[in-house]
Amino acid sequence: MLDNLEKYKVILASGSPRRRELMAGLGVNYEVRILPDVDESYPHTLQGEEIPLYIAKEKADAYIPMMQPDELIITADTIVWLDGKVLGKPRDREDALQMLRTMSGRTHEVFTGVCITTTDWQRSFTAQTEVRFATLSEDEIIYYVDNFKPMDKAGAYGIQGAFARYVASIQGNYDTVVGLPVSRVYREWKSLMEQEDEEE
């Protein structure tokens, strides 16, 4: 189905172990490549789904100058969006506690932007999932933050593992929340490879 993909060396440009696990599930050979200090800032006029898409493209642009013709690189970015604001990675313990207090009993959106790039073309998209938290007690919030240290996670939580008990519902793709919507990545690959077949 993805025979044409074999001519590419697939590279995941992410240090996230969660994205690596999701990529492994696609059954595609890939390697991880990480550039230090890639700029993840964005214009503050951007809203919601525009933000991770912009950052994913910025990450891709950082790799393009050193890409080889046989390489296909995947960049991604995930944000939590609530009340018209981004909830990024918490600055410290109190910031993490406050984020979870704010989301308790409410629905927020998670957007993951993905950019698939070669030296000849680029395809990008954003996936969206709505997540509703159960109402969390202060003890539950403190327990989670102190025991699971979610400082490297947007919105101060990881939907997999220990936090799953606090998730009331999900509308959309679970993998989008984890950090890489692999079903959409697969569909994009399939479309691109079919297009290349037609052009050959």
What residues are annotated to the active site? 77
Please check whether residue 89 is in contact with residue 179, taking contact to mean a CB–CB distance below 8 angstroms: no
- Angle between helix axes 138-148 and 93-103 (nearest 10 degrees) is 140
Cα–Cα distance list, 109 to 52, 142, 195 (Å): 12, 23, 32
d(CA 29, CA 12): 10
Q: Return the structure tokens found at 105.
A: 């009993």
131: amino acid identity, one letter:
V
Paired strand residues for 107 = 132
Please check whether residue 73 is in contact with residue 8, taking contact to mean a CB–CB distance below 8 angstroms: no
23: amino acid identity, one letter:
M
Cα–Cα distance list, 86 to 78, 144, 172, 176, 187 (Å): 10, 21, 19, 16, 28
Cα–Cα distance list, 60 to 40, 44, 172 (Å): 11, 20, 26
